[in-house]
Amino acid sequence: MGMVLGKITVATPKFEVLHSTDDYEIRQYSPSVAAEVTYDPSELKGNKDGGFTILANYIGAMGNPRNTKTEKIDMTAPVITKAEKIDMTAPVVTKESGERVTMQFILPEKYTKAEEAPNGVANEAVVKEKVDKLKKDLERDGYKVAGEFVLARYNPPWTLPPFRTNEVMIPVE
């Protein structure tokens, strides 16, 4: 019942808060290892979150692990998602550009940014709004954005939306 109400019951990455405001935190994360898959959602019935099943199968969250050691790996949070626009290459002429999605599971520490929390459902409009606000706040405070944002989701999909913990993370200098 705790996960339905937003309780995070899995390991999360360690970090040090370097600076904190009412709007965001600047964090320094410890090095970590991630299992990652990049995919075209159209190959997964249009599901932008389709990489979750691939990664869950890899760590053994849905049965026997599908990794080279067939070793079950504990689930962790957050699940990191980023969309990337890529140019299509010839000979494909029916599409001018495509969208691929990269999803990562941060692996437990033994395998070894800045944030704004859009709690609830992290749809594209909400995430864009939070990213834009965070970039504006960072620039106002003298930070230089050093890369693209990623979306970090800490709860399983069955968590009630008002209790979900999500973060947009942007690297800064």
Host H or E run for residue 137: helix 124-140
- Confidence (pLDDT) at 89: 40
Residue 122: C-alpha distances to residues 13, 21, 73, 111, 125 (Å): 20, 22, 26, 28, 8
- Confidence (pLDDT) at 113: 61
Share of the chain above pLDDT 70, in %: 84
- Confidence (pLDDT) at 108: 60
Q: Categorize the per-residue pLDDT at 142 as very low, low, confident or very high, splitting at 50, 70 and 90.
A: very high
- Confidence (pLDDT) at 86: 47
Q: Which of 83-87, 122-126, 150-154, 166-170 has the lowest mean pLDDT?
A: 83-87
